[in-house]
């Protein structure tokens, strides 16, 4: 595991360490099996085409998982994910490079926790934000209040 990030280490505007993913059709099949989501648009090209799609598309929930990993990688084992919200605005396809990014939008101490609010998003290979979202994490503090 990497170096632990602390509440005092981040400010509004700080960037979340980005995460690059290369989903393949094989990964979509693995995700279908692991999650139990067997909707055919994620592995059956003929079915996807007959549903007016460009081909098989990445599960929204897999992109949600990528953005979850963006945060759990960043906050380390001492951080806690409190809120994670994602919107699937555009479809993504296997074979593309998907990059998860984030930026701190606010900080607050609340109920003894050190909360950090972020905008998060996933970009396709063309740099288009297909999947925007927001998140709140609790980070450890260097100065323990108690």
Partner 1 sequence: MTQESVISTEVRQWVGRESEPVTLEVERGAIRKFAEAIGDSNPLFNDEAAARRTRYGGMIAPPTFLRSVPLPKLPLPEMPNLRRILDGGSDWEYFQPVWPDDRITAVTRLENVRERRSRLGPMLFTTLKTTYTNQFGQVAATQTSTLIFY
* Site of interaction with partner 1 (CB under 8 A): 1, 21, 27, 30-31, 33-37, 39, 51-52, 59-62, 64-66, 68-69, 71-73, 77-78, 80-88, 133
Helix (H, G, I), strand (E, B) or coil at 25: helix
Work out how close the CB of 138 gets to partner 1 at its nearest, in angstroms, rounded to a whole number: 10
Work out how close the CB of 49 gets to partner 1 at its nearest, in angstroms, rounded to a whole number: 13
Nearer to partner 1, 30 or 103 (CB): 30
Eight-class DSSP state of 41: G
Eight-class DSSP state of 126: T
Q: E strand or H helix at 63, and its extent?
A: helix 60-75
For the chain, the straight-line distance linking the first and the last C-alpha, in angstroms and rounded, comes to 27
Nearer to partner 1, 11 or 50 (CB): 50
CA separation for the pair 33, 30 (Å, rounded)? 5
Work out how close the CB of 43 gets to partner 1 at its nearest, in angstroms, rounded to a whole number: 13
Q: Kindly report the number of other CB atoms within 10 A of residue 38's CB atom.
A: 11
Nearer to partner 1, 37 or 119 (CB): 37
CA separation for the pair 40, 29 (Å, rounded)? 10
Nearer to partner 1, 10 or 28 (CB): 28
Nearer to partner 1, 55 or 60 (CB): 60
Work out how close the CB of 135 gets to partner 1 at its nearest, in angstroms, rounded to a whole number: 9
Work out how close the CB of 83 gets to partner 1 at its nearest, in angstroms, rounded to a whole number: 6
Helix (H, G, I), strand (E, B) or coil at 137: strand
């Amino acid at each position: 595991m990497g170096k632990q990030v602390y509440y005092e280490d981040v400010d509004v505007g700080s960037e979340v360490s980005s995460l690059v993913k290369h989903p393949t059709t094989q990964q979509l099949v693995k995700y279908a099996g692991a999650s139990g989501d067997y909707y055919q648009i994620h592995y059956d090209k003929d079915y996807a085409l007959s549903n007016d799609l460009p081909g098989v598309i990445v599960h929204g929930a897999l992109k949600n998982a990528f953005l979850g990993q963006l945060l759990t990688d960043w906050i380390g084992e001492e951080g806690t994910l409190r809120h994670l919200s994602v919107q699937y605005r555009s479809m993504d396809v296997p074979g593309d490079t998907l990059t998860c990014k984030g930026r701190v939008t606010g900080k607050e101490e609340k109920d003894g926790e050190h909360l950090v609010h972020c905008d998060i998003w996933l970009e396709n290979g063309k740099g288009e934000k297909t999947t925007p979202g927001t998140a709140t994490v609790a980070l450890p503090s260097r100065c323990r209040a108690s």
